[in-house]
Amino acid sequence: MQVIARLPGLFQVEVPLRTLFEAPTPAAFAEQTVKALATARPGPELRPAPRDQDLPLSFAQQRLWFLDQLQPGTSIYNLPLAVRVEGPLDTTALATGLREVTRRHESLRTTFTSQDGEPRQVIAPEPDMPLPVIDLGALPADHQLTTARHLAEQEAQQPFDLQHGP
């Protein structure tokens, strides 16, 4: 079933689930998929929306905006994650990677504004994600992990500022 779910993303073709059961071998399924590809009509060309103006919120963004209006300043929807890195940390490479991920994913550069009472999304053109570095190396070894956990918990409690961003 995962194969059926992946086909639209890979080949832009819908293959009915029954095809998987009617073609019980991988070779037979591949043959049916090739037939579906041959008869498939291409969908409309997808073009990115221009980014020179504010855009309406997606349904998911509307829900997030509504919840933030209902209960501002909460961190209840944060999904904190900590990663332990063994060995020396190349902070330059980490900052470069963070900047690249932010460049690729508009949602990480998006803030919300209100225009005539309607929420709108504003996508920043360039990533501006500072990477604060806190060196705990000067602390005794037994305090480093405790301090790191405490700092991570504090950071996880910081609410997102949907209007201004990080």
- Domain extent listing, the chain: 2-39, 55-156
pLDDT over 70 (residue 104): yes
Residue 3 — pLDDT band, cuts 50, 70, 90? Answer: low
pLDDT at 1: 61
Single pTM value for the model? 0.64
pLDDT over 70 (residue 4): no
pLDDT over 90 (residue 151): yes
Burial class of residue 33 in the structure, from the number of CB atoms within 10 Å of its CB (0-12 exposed, 13-18 middle, 19+ buried): buried
CATH code for 55-156? 3.30.559.10
| Average pLDDT score over residue span 155-161 | 93
For residue 112, give the DSSP letter: E
Average pLDDT, the chain: 85
Q: Where are the alpha helices (DSSP H) in the chain?
A: 2-11, 17-22, 26-39, 59-70, 91-104, 141-156
Round to whole Å and give the CA distance between 39 and 9: 17
